[in-house]
Amino acid sequence: MNTVVFPPAAVAPPQSLVSGSGHYNFGTYTGAIPTINPLDAAGTGLFASARRRIRDVGLKEWEAFQLGDDDHFALGAVYNAKSLGLLQVLIVDKQAATISRFETKLPSNLLDVARGLDGTVSSGEFAGLKIAISNEFSAGSLTVDATRRATALRPEMDLHVTGAVDRAGHLVIVHPFNDTSALYSHKAMMPATGSITIDDEHLGLADGRGFLILDDHHGDYPRPMKYGWVTGIRRTAAGVVEGFNLTANQIRNPGVFNENAIWIGDQVHRLPAVSVERPDGPWGTWFIRDRSGAVDVTFTPTVQSTQHVGPRKALAEYYAPYGWYEGTIEAEKASLTVDGMFGVGEQKRISV
């Protein structure tokens, strides 16, 4: 293995995402940023109000989650692309390789993505589907409530899960696309308790086996927005949460600025930049590696999921398979074998 160059260690967070001077506080942080104020990057003075409106239209915002136990894996989001909104809960049976979909597109003004993670809620309700993600970081909790009422053609769904934020490891990034635009993301992995029910069938979470990933996300993405991403998570026999996040995106200087890391309990260990290769397309095996060999992971999809928009996928081309991981990840002070870990990947290109 070649010499590994790891990114700088994460540091304590600033008070705000954007400083009073209108500049992003670029860096990688160990905890929540209290004030998430991306529109303040428009600055002040003449035409500031118009510049804020323009920035808001271009800002992609979502609060998402992945959660589950040994048998099931769920992904959900309150997603605001400004041109449209999306409410989504997808529940995968790992062994049966089946997926239950509860999702709806809606006007973006009918949902709300929180800016900040203390005393806030990301929520939306449309076409019988309701999602609320309640952020109570000062109280040490994050709660996901999702319901869809039954009809003659579709089942009822109830999901109520609480994550233990006070037992989580946190990775918070403010990384530059350029000098004036940024990707903010707060990812945390934690133990969780709760329930998932479809019609009268109780699917989870099994006692002592539940886990939850938070993904709070606000980005001034270039157009088209594109990236490759994989994540996986489990709890060990001792109940410890283990997981990883690996992304190849449009960030400048990914050797310094990236959101690649492993989680072991409440500890987060940063990793080098990676590439995501799919020689047989999104449904074939994925290969996620860095140049030195510290990251050597394969992802084998077993469940397909897509979300395309526009003629010939012109506005959005999105593949999100679920499946199994194999391989090893070597951080500077920890390592993780991911054999038998389950998760999700994304291949995304969005122009709207």
pLDDT, tens only, 215-237:
999 999 999 999 999 999 999 99
Whole-number pLDDT of residue 254: 97
φ/ψ of residue 55, rounded to 5:
-65, -40
State the DSSP string of 52-116.
Answer: HHHHHHH-EEEEEEEEE-SSEEEEEEEEE-SS-EEEEEEEEETTTTEEEEEEEEE-GGGEE--SS
Over residues 243-252, the mean pLDDT reads 98
Which residue has tokens 């109000």?
A: 49
Lowest mean pLDDT among 71-80, 160-169, 281-290, 311-320: 311-320
**pLDDT at residue 66, as a whole number:** 98
The pLDDT assigned to 72 comes to: 98
Q: Yes or no: say if 259 and 185 are a contact pair by the CB < 8 Å rule.
A: yes
Of 42, 26, 13, 20, nearest to 116 by C-alpha is 13
For residue 216, give the amino acid letter: D
Residue 27 tokens read as 């860096």
Asked if residue 233 lies in contact with residue 343, where contact means CB atoms within 8 angstroms, the answer is: yes
| Distance of alpha carbon 75 from alpha carbon 99, whole angstroms | 11
Note the pLDDT of residue 310: 81
Q: Is residue 2 over pLDDT 80?
A: no
User: Does residue 270 have a pLDDT over 90?
Assistant: yes
pLDDT band at 153 (very low <50, low <70, confident <90, very high): confident
Determine which of 43-57, 92-106, 236-250 has the lowest per-residue pLDDT on average. 43-57
At residue 1, the pLDDT reads 57
Tokens of 310: 């526009």
- pLDDT, residue 313, reads 79
pLDDT at 309: 80
Structure tokens at 219: 């980005």
Q: What is the mean pLDDT of residues 281-305?
A: 97
Examine the pLDDT at 174 and tell me if it is beyond 80: yes
Between CA 267 and CA 274 the distance in angstroms is 21
Per-residue pLDDT averaged across 296-317, rounded?
89
pLDDT of 53 strictly over 90: yes
The lowest-confidence range among 31-35, 223-227, 295-299, 300-304 is 223-227
- Computed over every residue of the chain, the mean pLDDT equals 96
The pLDDT of residue 268 is above 60: yes
Is the pLDDT reported for residue 352 higher than 80? no
CB 213 within 8 A of CB 250: no
CB within 8 A of 90, min separation 6: which ones? 74, 75, 76, 99, 100, 101, 102, 103, 305
More confident residue, 221 or 3: 221
Which pLDDT tens digit goes with each residue over 59-91? 999 999 999 999 999 999 999 999 899 999 999
Tell me the whole-structure pTM to 2 decimals: 0.96
- pLDDT higher than threshold 70 for residue 9: yes
